[in-house]
Amino acid sequence: MDGIKEFPFGGNMAIHRRVIDLIGNFDTTMGRKGTGLKKEELFKGEETDFFHRLAAAEGKFYYHPDALVFHKILPHQLKKGFFLLFTITQVL
Cα angle value 16/21/27 (rounded, 5°): 90
- Compute the distance between CA of residue 42 and CA of residue 68 in angstroms, rounded to an integer: 23
When comparing pLDDT for 78 and 83, which is higher?
78
Q: Is the pLDDT of residue 73 over 60?
A: yes
Q: What is the pLDDT of residue 33?
A: 67
Q: What is the pLDDT of residue 92?
A: 45
pLDDT tens for 13-65 read: 788 899 999 999 988 887 666 666 666 655 567 888 888 899 899 988 887 77
Residue 21 is predicted with a pLDDT of 94
